[in-house]
A and B are shown apart, each in its own frame.
Chain A
Amino acid sequence: MSSATMGANSAAPVLRLLQINVAVLVAMSGTIFACAEGAPAAAWAVPIAWVGLMFVDLRPLLRVNSWVANGLALAVIAAVGFEYFGNTIESRLLAFGHFLCYLSWVLLLQEKKSRQFWWLCALSVLQVATSAVLTSSPWLGLALIVYVTYALLTLSVFSLYRAVSRSAGVEQRTSPDSGSGGPPGSVSRNAVRLESAAKWITPRFFGGVAVNGVMSITLGLLIFVLTPRIWIGQIGVIGGRSLPSARSVTGVSEDVDLGDVGEIMENPDLIMEVQFSDMSTGKAMSVEEFLEAIGAETPLYRGIALDEYSSGHWSMGDIGDTQLPNLEILDSRRHFYQQSIRLRPTGISALFVGPGGVTCRPLQPRMQITHERLRNTFHREASKAALRSETFEYQAYSLGPDEQMSFPSSRSRTARYQQRMSRFPPGLKPVRELAEQTVRVPGEDPLPPAEAARRLVARLRDSGEYGYSLDTTPDDPMADPIVDFLANRKEGHCEFFASSLALMLRAVGIPSRLVTGFKGGAFNENTQFYEIRQLHAHAWVEAFVDNKWVVLDPTPAVRDQTVSANAASSHFWTDLVTKAKDLWMRGMLFSGSQQQRMFVDPLQKSAGGLFSSFTEIGSELGTGFEPDQRRANSRDSALWAVLLVMGMLALIIAGTIAGMRLVGKRIRGKGRRARSAASVAGPPVPFYERFCAILARNGRVREPAQTQREFATTLGDGWKLNGSPALGSDRPGNPLRDSVQQDRVQHDRVQQDSNLPENITTAFYRIRFGRHQLPAGELRALDASLDRWEQSLSNGNPGNGSAR
């Protein structure tokens, strides 16, 4: 069967593939929705899609007719109607999602034509879109990529199916002529031209779809990155609930239950990114340079200062000391060091500030930060939804050791706070005893507070008596966790060490508080930011010694090694997953201000720089043109300069493009001419070239305007080879002339030789224009003739035209 007459039935493989693809797509979208919703109902799409494929599409055993389908659709509407009238946006969204699911199930059970396929695809896309509103977890990113790739394949197959249905074997008729004897109307029949082997679906097709998929997804991601984040609504999305939210763990919680930190020490989730710079020069600094500048030893990022301890639980009370940060100090002559911080959603209002931070300001418009002076902590004013879902960018400012400043509160408040910091909880007698035992050596004078603090730190950190461990299983569950730690287990993590120190300091009369935050971080070469993750969470102590708060870290150094080991102990896949999650979170929290800084600001800077250059040029031009008169307005000159330069640029670009086109045209034309010349000239004909060469040596050259035949004609008799000398010279004294065969051969040779130019030309024409191939014998004969001819010419035979 010729491909041109292939009928619609031949597209059955396409239809089958389409049916399978659509079924898988619907199953995929149902599964995604079920995962996003957190309920398995939508996942019933999988078995229903299978049933639809097997018993409706491939074998029509279970097809639902339109009446039944309509009835089912009404039932669907009724079913989701109840959900829809729930009070929350989430319930309405879920109702909508369920509606899409159920409707697609009804369609799966119907006989499918193009319209049904298209509706299934559209419903599937809407389900995925609804899922994107319900969740923004990292798994959704992978699911989207897989789904989009498969959807592109499905749409491509659908497009192929539609094209085939429209074309293959379709007949079109005009209205038949009426009347008896009249011929029937005109008919046309469409055709399909398959590429090869009567196959619709080829590996090349899949390759094309794959390339298209990659390019489409890449372009889509680019669009995502470049689309302006112009949020116009105040409706908080529901999807934030799957983001890293408030958990009662060190680092990102406003109160601490001792023992919870273990699980986060292996959690690589990114919490924040920090960049250091010198505010005066704007120059970026490494963390080491920063620490050196501000006189700190370790990069500790303060978040929350906890005051009250009770039975293994630290919390902070309200001290009523909240104000806006003092930003006026930034205009003073002090030398500030800047920390640019990008904080992921934590669910809490506390902001984390690096060492020496004295003030803070937000980078996002309409955002507010407050400062608790006594605790020296900073908080962000935002709704709970925003705290859970929005990245916050801010800058913190630190001073060098010689320029430290404090922000005292009212005396009474300060006094109350001091009291609180000194309050030793009841029921911790062993802690007090241990503290006193450490700082009060019999026979010694009471130690100054600083020395006492140092000894307590050394007791915990350096004595070797206490070890670092993430295992928080208590030896005596009835005892206070700190007492159990100090007396029994003698092993714990930073929370225990810090809590112990804070309590021991209070026990000896030194006000202290527990501070939670992060310690350390890793520099990312790509982003040029220090990345602080959950596993960098840490707790330490601040003690009020010598009228200032001093940072004390009693945790043994092995903690840093553990953290580094955890950070470094990345399996390739774990690393990949972590990076992918980071990338996803970065994308999902991509804000307009980030976009601005990433794309718009550099462009603006360049444009601004360019404009400044033009202004300078313009000023100089203005000066040059009007030396004695009042100088023209520099802006006007700049404008002229801009126009001039742009005009020159435009000319250069246009000239380059025109030049390239011209060159390209010439090259193409040459190629075309060469090809056409080659096709006209055809393959070389050796014997004719030899013939021409012989003539050329004897002074006859074909003129360009002459054809070969004309040339042969103009050669005249003088160039014909005289047969007699050939005969004579060939066979001197050959007695065997009476052989008929030899005579015939001789006769032929004479004939050939005597009319050599025409014979050669005729043979040439047969090859060049007739596309014939001469037999080998004939070629040899021609060569032999040429030999003899050449010989005779060189012997100067009469009439050989050498004189011509």
Chain B
Amino acid sequence: MVVGLALVAVELRYGTLLVWGGLLAHGLTLLAAVTLSVWGLKEIITGWWPGAMPRKAPARRNRFLLPAEGWVYGVIMIVLCAGSAIGNSNTLLLVFALMAGPFIMNGWITFAMLKKLNVRRTVPPRMMAGEPFSVELELINPKWWLSAWLMSVRDKVGNGREELNPEVLFTRIPRRGRETGRYQLRLSQRGRYSFGPIQINSRFPLGLVERGLVLADTAEMLVYPRIGRFTASWRRQLLTATQLVSHAQPRGGSFDDEFHRIREYRPGDDPRAIHWRTSARRNELMVREFRESRDRNLILLLDMFLPERPTEAQRQRLEFAISVAATIYNDQMLSSRDTTVFFAANCDPFREWDGSSHRGGRDELLDLLALLQPCNRAGLQGLLDVVRRQQTPHSRAVLITTSPARAEQWDTAQAGHRGNGQAYLATEAPQLVVADPDALAGIFSFT
């Protein structure tokens, strides 16, 4: 606007172009200057009062940037132009013109290359935290007459707490062609990550002008908590009641012993377990080994307490707890058939998930775990109630909490619960897991 007004003022005051070009040049100059001023004014108004001319965010938006090289180039050009006017030099003006031509061409070529370009992004809907994966970007050039060179496609990935800007550089997309590139990501935090918008930038051919296209193309991905691995013994201890063959007697229909295998007799085995036929055949004592069925339902409880102003260590501890919960759930699903999992977490709101009524597969609970938010008012009573409601002789409960202090609170709550005359059924108490990475270092790892 300022430039336009200045041009109008100068031309009206001095009439330079009136002298040089006559009325026609004078009129055209004034018209151009007025147009520039009006456009500038409009931009100012929309900048200060967006409500004045509300417009929907466009799906495609152009952007223009003059990089440092362009600025230097422009300054040199201006100096040459001024020098030629002052020195009355056509040769210097020629040098200026031969610089201006490529500058304008650079801007036009990048603008023309960017027209009609489109990007398709393929993102896996879900991924595990810490797991590397790639995101595919397909750049499509539908123009019939012009290839697109040196297109840098930049995506934006973030979850509100961290942000990345991965890029794929496409050297050339032929006309009416498409190319696919992939960038790699490894996201460390669970949760919902949003992708987009996508920026397509280019400075080709001379690097003096950068033009870009911003495409409002968004996508989302859920990042599951990191799933680790328990040691085999701890997994058995946690999820199964590994019974020696001597305890293979079935207990009133609650458990069905599973025949596991026939092995050699070891001292201490129950003689009643000897399999005589095989022994005769093998000419050595062979016994039947039973294992208690692992098909026990799991009640997985997660304490989502986090203080109002948590330290980073506390935050990490909670994330670790979620990872442990996810690992336990994953192991349960992998190792057990026909079991159900009931999950509860004392966040705000209280979340419960019943695997028996949800048949969406293991992804459902992992989706839930990915999106759980901590709560600074998370009490343990709700979890206790869940245990009371859901625990059966067929089920086993596991509570994961973040600190020993919370574990003590749990014990106190349980004791109070019994003291109120509300007894559990003849089941074992929920197993308590304090999600302390150091404490669990021997039995749990992420690798």
Residues in A with CB closer than 8 Å to B96 are 227
Nearest CB in chain B: distance from A186 CB, A: 5
Nearest CB in chain B: distance from A101 CB, A: 17
Residue of A nearest to B28 (CB): A603
Nearest CB in chain A: distance from B245 CB, A: 39
Residues in A with CB closer than 8 Å to B169 are 163-164, 166-168, 190-193
The answer to whether A231 and B184 touch (CB under 8 A), given A159-B203, A168-B169, A204-B172, is no
In the bound complex, do residue B85 and residue A216 qualify as a contact, i.e. CB atoms below 8 Å apart? no
Residue of B nearest to A162 (CB): B207
In the bound complex, do residue B184 and residue A232 qualify as a contact, i.e. CB atoms below 8 Å apart? no
Nearest CB in chain A: distance from B268 CB, A: 41
Q: A93-131: contact bitstring with B at CB < 8 Å (1 yes, 0 no)?
A: 000000000000000000000000010001001101100
The answer to whether A212 and B184 touch (CB under 8 A), given A180-B437, A188-B157, is no
In the bound complex, do residue B313 and residue A180 qualify as a contact, i.e. CB atoms below 8 Å apart? yes
Binds A, one of B17-25, B325-333, B404-412, B420-428: B17-25
Bound-complex Cα distance A136 to B91 (A): 6
Which of B20, B130, B169, B316 is most buried by chain A, counting CB atoms within 10 A of its CB?
A: B169
In the bound complex, do residue B90 and residue A188 qualify as a contact, i.e. CB atoms below 8 Å apart? no
Residues in A with CB closer than 8 Å to B315 are 179
For A237, give its contact among B21, B72, B89 (CB under 8 Å): B89
Q: A173-197: contact bitstring with B at CB < 8 Å (1 yes, 0 no)?
A: 0111111111111111111111100
Q: A197-237: contact bitstring with B at CB < 8 Å (1 yes, 0 no)?
A: 00010001100110010011111111110011111111111
Interface residues in B78-99 (C-beta closer than 8 Å to A): 80, 83, 85-99
In the bound complex, do residue A177 and residue B316 qualify as a contact, i.e. CB atoms below 8 Å apart? yes
Residues in A with CB closer than 8 Å to B94 are 132, 141, 144, 224, 587-588
Q: Does A140 contact B (CB under 8 A)?
A: yes
Residues in A with CB closer than 8 Å to B69 are 118
In the bound complex, do residue B171 and residue A194 qualify as a contact, i.e. CB atoms below 8 Å apart? yes
Q: A570-596: contact bitstring with B at CB < 8 Å (1 yes, 0 no)?
A: 000000000000000001111010001
In the bound complex, do residue B184 and residue A191 qualify as a contact, i.e. CB atoms below 8 Å apart? yes
Residue of A nearest to B85 (CB): A232
The answer to whether A152 and B130 touch (CB under 8 A), given A185-B162, A190-B167, is no
In the bound complex, do residue B97 and residue A174 qualify as a contact, i.e. CB atoms below 8 Å apart? no
In the bound complex, do residue B86 and residue A167 qualify as a contact, i.e. CB atoms below 8 Å apart? no
Q: B1-40: contact bitstring with A at CB < 8 Å (1 yes, 0 no)?
A: 0000000000000001100111111000000000000000
Interface residues in B169-199 (C-beta closer than 8 Å to A): 169-172, 174, 179-189
Binds A, one of B101-109, B350-358, B392-400: B101-109
Residue of A nearest to B201 (CB): A163
Residues in A with CB closer than 8 Å to B76 are 122, 125-126, 129
Residues in A with CB closer than 8 Å to B101 are 216-223
Residues in B with CB closer than 8 Å to A222 are 101
Nearest CB in chain A: distance from B402 CB, A: 12
Residues in A with CB closer than 8 Å to B208 are 155
Q: Does B319 contact A (CB under 8 A)?
A: yes
Bound-complex Cα distance A148 to B130 (A): 51
The answer to whether A144 and B98 touch (CB under 8 A), given A133-B83, A181-B320, is yes
Q: Does A745 contact B (CB under 8 A)?
A: no
Q: Does B416 contact A (CB under 8 A)?
A: no
In the bound complex, do residue B88 and residue A236 qualify as a contact, i.e. CB atoms below 8 Å apart? yes
In the bound complex, do residue A190 and residue B90 qualify as a contact, i.e. CB atoms below 8 Å apart? no
Q: Does A35 contact B (CB under 8 A)?
A: no
For A186, give its contact among B20, B24, B95, B186 (CB under 8 Å): B186
Which of A162, A183, A233 is most buried by chain B, counting CB atoms within 10 A of its CB?
A: A183
Residues in A with CB closer than 8 Å to B166 are 172, 188-190
The answer to whether A191 and B87 touch (CB under 8 A), given A152-B206, A180-B437, is no
For A129, give its contact among B80, B317, B319 (CB under 8 Å): B80
In the bound complex, do residue B85 and residue A230 qualify as a contact, i.e. CB atoms below 8 Å apart? yes
In the bound complex, do residue A163 and residue B102 qualify as a contact, i.e. CB atoms below 8 Å apart? no
Bound-complex Cα distance A719 to B319 (A): 69
A to B contact number (C-beta, < 8 Å): 270
In the bound complex, do residue B184 and residue A592 qualify as a contact, i.e. CB atoms below 8 Å apart? no
Which of B90, B96, B313 is most buried by chain A, counting CB atoms within 10 A of its CB?
A: B90
Residues in B with CB closer than 8 Å to A592 are 20
Bound-complex Cα distance A749 to B21 (A): 93
Residue of B nearest to A201 (CB): B171
In the bound complex, do residue A183 and residue B188 qualify as a contact, i.e. CB atoms below 8 Å apart? yes
In the bound complex, do residue A216 and residue B105 qualify as a contact, i.e. CB atoms below 8 Å apart? yes
Bound-complex Cα distance A302 to B93 (A): 35
Bound-complex Cα distance A129 to B180 (A): 44
In the bound complex, do residue B170 and residue A193 qualify as a contact, i.e. CB atoms below 8 Å apart? yes
Bound-complex Cα distance A119 to B96 (A): 18
Residues in B with CB closer than 8 Å to A194 are 171
Residue of A nearest to B90 (CB): A588
The answer to whether A230 and B16 touch (CB under 8 A), given A179-B312, A604-B23, is yes
The answer to whether A212 and B205 touch (CB under 8 A), given A172-B166, A183-B129, A588-B90, is yes
Nearest CB in chain B: distance from A229 CB, A: 8
Nearest CB in chain A: distance from B339 CB, A: 29
Residue of B nearest to A236 (CB): B88
Bound-complex Cα distance A321 to B241 (A): 132
Residues in A with CB closer than 8 Å to B381 are none
Bound-complex Cα distance A791 to B163 (A): 73
The answer to whether A189 and B130 touch (CB under 8 A), given A217-B98, A228-B20, is no
Bound-complex Cα distance A188 to B20 (A): 59
Q: Does B226 contact A (CB under 8 A)?
A: yes
Residues in B with CB closer than 8 Å to A132 are 89, 91-92, 94-95
The answer to whether A237 and B87 touch (CB under 8 A), given A195-B172, A604-B24, is yes
Residues in A with CB closer than 8 Å to B403 are none
Q: Does B238 contact A (CB under 8 A)?
A: no
In the bound complex, do residue A192 and residue B181 qualify as a contact, i.e. CB atoms below 8 Å apart? yes
Residues in A with CB closer than 8 Å to B312 are 177-179, 182
Q: Does B368 contact A (CB under 8 A)?
A: no
Bound-complex Cα distance A132 to B84 (A): 10
Q: Does A58 contact B (CB under 8 A)?
A: no
A-B contact pairs, 14 of them (CB 8 A): A118-B72, A122-B76, A133-B89, A136-B90, A163-B204, A168-B169, A186-B185, A191-B182, A194-B171, A205-B149, A220-B99, A224-B98, A596-B20, A603-B24
A-side residues, CB < 8 A to B, are 4-5, 118, 122, 125-126, 128-129, 132-133, 135-136, 140-141, 144, 148, 152, 155-156, 158-160, 162-164, 166-168, 170, 172, 174-195, 200, 204-205, 208-209, 212, 215-224, 227-237, 239, 587-590, 592, 596, 600-601, 603-604, 607
Can you name 5 extra interface pairs (CB under 8 A) apart from A140-B91, A216-B102? A162-B203, A162-B207, A191-B182, A236-B88, A589-B90
9 closest residue pairs by CB, A with B: A220-B101, A181-B437, A159-B207, A233-B86, A193-B181, A224-B97, A188-B166, A167-B169, A179-B316
